[in-house]
């Protein structure tokens, strides 16, 4: 989003206790950030994910400038964070490859 853009309204309510528990399990892991733009799914692996606030629920995610998924997230104005377990390394690697169909 550009600095002058406003943040989208969350689609659903996030309970602060649930968010605290979820982020407490994400010490320094890997997540896949996904969105849909123009009817197409987009996603990328990230490991720069930080809880900023419980109320309102805010996350900080660092994305690669110029990546198609970053452009799609900017266009869509919303995204989902999928926190992965250690058993989901193949999924993390699949979404880390640039320029491929991850879905």
- Distances, alpha carbon 89 to alpha carbons 29, 30, 61, in Å: 11, 9, 19
Report the pLDDT value the prediction gives residue 12, as an integer from 0 to 100.
67
- 34 lies in which domain range? 16-96
Global pTM reads 0.70
Closest by CA to 103, choosing from 61, 14, 41, 38, is 41
Tell me whether residue 10 is in a domain: no
- For residue 65, pLDDT over 70 is answered with yes
The angle at the Cα of 15, spanning 70 to 18, to the nearest 5 degrees, equals: 85
The angle at the Cα of 12, spanning 29 to 87, to the nearest 5 degrees, equals: 25
Tell me whether residue 7 is in a domain: no
Of residues 7 and 72, more confidently modeled: 72
Tell me whether residue 63 is in a domain: yes
Tell me whether residue 6 is in a domain: no
From CA 66, how far away is CA 44, in angstroms rounded? 12
Average pLDDT for the chain: 82
Tell me whether residue 102 is in a domain: no
CATH of the domain at 43: 2.30.110.10
Tell me whether residue 3 is in a domain: no
Tell me whether residue 88 is in a domain: yes
Number of domains in the chain: 1
Tell me whether residue 11 is in a domain: no
């Amino acid at each position: 989003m550009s600095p002058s853009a406003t943040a989208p309204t969350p689609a659903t309510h996030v309970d602060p206790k649930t968010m605290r528990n979820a982020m407490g399990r994400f010490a320094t892991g890997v997540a896949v950030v996904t969105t849909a733009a123009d009817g197409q799914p987009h996603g990328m692996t990230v490991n720069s994910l930080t809880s900023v606030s419980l109320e309102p629920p805010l996350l900080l995610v660092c994305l690669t400038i110029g990546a198609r998924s970053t452009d799609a997230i900017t266009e869509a104005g919303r995204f989902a964070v999928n926190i992965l377990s250690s058993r989901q390394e193949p999924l993390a690697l699949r979404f880390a490859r640039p320029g491929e169909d991850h879905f």
